[in-house]
Chains A and B, each alone.
Chain A
Amino acid sequence: MNAWIYVAIIVVSTVASDLLQSWEMKRQGEMTNFGIGHLLKTLLSKLPLIASVVFLAISFYAFLALLQVADLSFAVPATALSLVAETILARLLLKEKVTAARWAGTALVTCGVYLLAL
């Protein structure tokens, strides 16, 4: 029971982090300057990106907490639920065109993650 609460926190915060990051970076436009200083400045000057790092940190700590109460072989496939959730939300919220090939590939990767953890 406790473990599923951590799984929920991990999935929700990972999804929130990735959606915020992808949304804000698309708004910024395609990057051409890949200097570390420029990248760090971008990361720290935009609120949605700062929020995405906060969510990433929450997800990381919840994963560490999950590993204290559950096996790695439970933790990895349970948190791989975020792969499917993110693909659905990328289509609905970010308006990406998820083609049949991309759905099939994402499903294959998700199956693979489950098998790895068995």
Chain B
Amino acid sequence: MSSNRLVRKTRLFAAIVVVTNVLGNFALSWGMKHGAALDGSPLSFVMVVFNPWVLVGISLLTGWVLSRMALLSWADLSYVIPVTSVGFVLNAIMGAVFLDEKISALRWAGTVCIVGGTVLVGLTAPKTER
């Protein structure tokens, strides 16, 4: 496979990994805050699992595990870990937009560091061994 195609395929899968993780976490936490609460009884557990938001969250996180597994079949772990860390930033932004959290100057500085680090690692070749 030409290195150009490899890079494009790697970016596509990294994007799928990040989006399924961020949306999955969001759906799960939204579902836990808007619906049946866990009180330790088996019935409350069943109610939580069949909450549509929780179901969507679990499906998205299953997609996250599978797409990450596929990505790791060719890309280095030391590439995948920092590149998919951009999810931390998207999680913070989702919190600011949908949960009305304030983003401090320090948090913006952290966001800039993560995006800069992600771009830096993203510019290296995704596959180095063999």
Contacts and interface: CB of A to CB of B under 8 A. Distances in A.
Contacts of B77: 18-19, 22, 86, 90, 94, 96
A40 B72 CA distance: 15
Interface residues of A, number: 48
Interface residues of B, number: 41
A76 B79 CA distance: 20
B51 interface: no
Which secondary structure characterizes the binding site on chain A? helix
Contact of A118 (B70, B72, B106, B124): B106
Interface string B111-129: 1111111111111100011
Contact of A25 (B69, B88, B120): B69
Nearest to B6: A30
B110 A112 contact: yes
Nearest to A39: B66
Contacts of A99: 124, 128
Nearest to B13: A34
B65 A56 contact: yes
Interface of B: 1, 65-66, 68-70, 72-74, 76-82, 85, 88-89, 92, 104, 106-107, 109-124, 128-129
Please provide the 3 A-B residue pairs with the shortest distance between their CB atoms, ordered closest to farther.
A115-B110, A108-B117, A112-B113
Interface of A: 18-19, 21-22, 25-26, 28-31, 34, 36, 39-40, 42-43, 49, 53, 56, 76, 83, 86-87, 90-91, 94-99, 101-102, 104-118
